[in-house]
């Protein structure tokens, strides 16, 4: 422990003092992470029980290492109870870190999880080839499919909460401190989340005049006041005032009508990963907010830039989304949530979004790196740049090996495969970034996307081989 900083050693000694029974079961080795609500330490399981609890996970079964999560005393008891309950509930998936042990002593709570050999996202996101990105996203969506099947929203999907091993191509979702369970989310039919307004339009239930029992108000608007993005209700105003408020002016200042109630909704999550409906304070948030976060991660991969969104507050986050997707689409989704939005006095934004869409946005970022000389000549990002310079010249990708029967050149075959992967990658990216959460696909839907065709076929082949093996054993 000579190379461990003195302050870390002091922290670990303090943890031993605060939780006396810890030292007889685990030996703390080093601090490996820290967040707002907890610190995480690498430790040795002295009884070597944890590694045998979940043999199908990808950690070294012979390793005695575990991760000790110390939850800060500032966390509410309800939050701690919720996290422990969800960890235990989700312990049967290979893509979710299971609960191995938990210790409570007075006001101290520590959680024991497996220690996974993994790489930090920052170490590989700029160099991972398109097929590696595909495998990463497949693993992440598989984890979310499982989590969402229990009606659980993770609420904090980001690279640091998905421990990935690029060599093994395996990953696990961690940190359910912000996750929430909602019985309504078990329902496969999402129609109950929309209602038809007086104009015959389908809108989110958060804008329904009958949603007051959900702690929402109606006739709200979006405004920026005192450095905050506010969504306020106007149901106490006169009809004439309410009609005027439906068109919000995005400008700094003080509210003209102090009687407006502020719309309340869960806004938990990490800056830069929050979906539009979270920023708009929709009170009918679903698992689809996690899918938006998946899109943010994929955009970081394909643009080779992390973090891709660098908002310091809700205002910046809202404007960043407007910059890429356009004012008009944002007005449409605002209307879906019963909000008004007027950005006519905010210069520099395109009505329909960034020229060229997501492809144009990514190409501009990569072109800038080439111009500044920050991409080495061997960078895998040039494959993406090559695709973006010619994707409009080839409108459809190949859909299978039959298209390559007459292609003998392996290099040409490889380039075609890279082109196909980029085509479907951007297609999936656009689906993750569907602004209307009602139309945004689920994790289960996305796993059936054509981008994952070969991975799904590999799974079928593996399952068939396993079935044939056990059939042979029985016979």
From the list 3, 30, 45, 156, the catalytic residue is 156
Q: With helix as H, strand as E and coil as C, how does the chain read?
A: CCCCCHHHHHHHHHHHHHCHHHCCCEEEEEEEEECCCEEEEEEEECCCCHHHHCCCCCCCCCCCEEEEEEECCCCCHHHHHHHHHHHHHCCCCCCECCCCEEEEECCEEEEEEECCCCECHHHHCCCCCHHHHHHHHHHHHHHHHHHHCCCEECCCCCHHHEEEECCCCEEEECCCCCCEECHHHHCCCHHHHEEECCCCCEEEHHHCCCHHHHCCCCCCEEEEECCEEEEEECCCCCHHHHHHHCCCECCCCCCCCCCCEECCCCCCCCCCCCCHHHHCCCCCCCCHHHHHHHHHHHHHHHHCCCCCCCCCCHHHHHHHHHHHHCHHHHHHHHHHCCCCCECCCCCCCCCCCCCCHHHHHHHHHHHHHHHHCCCCCCCCHHHHHHHHHHHHHCCCCCCCHHHHCCCCCHHHHHHHHHHHHHHHHHHHHHHHCCCCCCCCCCHHHHHCCHHHHHHHHHHHHHHHHHHHHHHHHHC
- Active-site annotation holds for 156: yes
Q: Hey, what are 177's tokens?
A: 């401190």
Q: Which residues pair with 172 in a beta bridge?
A: 163
Preceding amide of 307 cis, omega within 30: yes
Distance CA 206, CA 285 (A): 9
Residue 63 burial (CB < 10 Å; 0-12/13-18/19+)? Answer: middle
Work out whether strand 221-225 and strand 65-71 pair parallel, antiparallel, or are unpaired.
unpaired
Q: Hey, what are 397's tokens?
A: 């990708």
Query: Is the Cβ–Cβ distance between 312 and 178 less than 8 Å?
Result: no
List the one residue out of 163, 403, 113, 162 whose CA is nearest residue 290: 162
What are the catalytic residues? 156
């Amino acid at each position: 422990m000579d190379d461990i900083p003195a302050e870390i050693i002091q922290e670990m000694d303090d943890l031993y003092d605060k939780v006396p029974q810890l030292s007889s079961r685990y030996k703390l080795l080093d601090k490996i992470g820290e967040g707002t609500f907890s610190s995480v330490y690498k430790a040795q399981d002295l009884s070597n029980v944890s590694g045998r609890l979940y043999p199908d996970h990808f950690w070294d079964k012979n390793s005695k290492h575990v991760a000790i999560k110390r939850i800060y005393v500032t966390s509410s008891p309800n939050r701690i109870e919720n996290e422990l309950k969800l960890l235990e509930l989700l312990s049967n998936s290979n893509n979710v870190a299971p609960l191995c042990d938990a210790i409570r002593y007075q006001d101290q709570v520590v959680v024991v999880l497996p220690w996974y050999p993994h790489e930090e996202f920052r170490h590989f996101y700029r160099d991972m080839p398109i097929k590696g990105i595909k495998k990463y996203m497949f693993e992440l969506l598989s984890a979310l499919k499982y989590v969402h099947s229990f009606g659980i929203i993770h609420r904090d999907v980001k690279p640091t909460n998905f421990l990935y091993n690029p060599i093994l191509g395996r990953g696990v979702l961690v940190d359910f401190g912000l996750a929430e369970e909602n019985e309504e989310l078990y329902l496969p039919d999402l129609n109950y989340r929309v209602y038809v307004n007086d104009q015959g339009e389908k809108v989110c239930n958060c804008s329904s005049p009958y949603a007051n029992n959900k702690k929402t108000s109606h006739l709200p608007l979006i405004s920026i006041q005192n450095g905050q993005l506010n969504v306020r209700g106007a149901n106490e105003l006169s009809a004439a005032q309410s009609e005027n408020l439906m068109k919000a002016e995005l400008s700094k200042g003080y509210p003209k009508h102090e009687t407006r109630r502020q719309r309340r909704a869960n806004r938990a999550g990490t800056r830069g990963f929050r979906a539009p409906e979270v920023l708009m304070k929709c009170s009918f948030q679903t698992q689809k907010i996690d899918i938006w976060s998946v899109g943010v991660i994929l955009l970081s991969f394909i643009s080779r830039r992390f973090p891709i969104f660098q908002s310091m507050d809700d205002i910046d986050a809202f404007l960043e989304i407007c910059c890429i997707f356009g004012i008009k689409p944002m007005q449409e989704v605002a209307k879906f949530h019963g909000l008004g939005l007027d950005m006519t006095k905010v210069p520099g934004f395109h009505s329909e979004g960034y020229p060229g869409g997501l492809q144009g946005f990514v190409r501009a970022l990569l072109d800038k790196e080439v111009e500044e000389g920050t991409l080495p000549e061997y960078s895998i990002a040039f494959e993406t740049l090559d695709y973006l310079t010619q994707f409009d010249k080839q409108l459809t990708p190949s859909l299978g090996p039959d298209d390559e029967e007459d292609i003998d050149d392996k290099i040409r075959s490889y380039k075609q495969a890279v082109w196909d992967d980029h085509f479907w990658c951007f297609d999936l990216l656009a689906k993750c970034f569907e602004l209307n959460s009602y139309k945004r696909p689920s994790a289960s839907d996305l796993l059936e996307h054509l981008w994952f065709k070969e991975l799904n076929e590999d799974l079928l082949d593996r399952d068939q081989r396993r079935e044939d093996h056990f059939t042979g054993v029985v016979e």
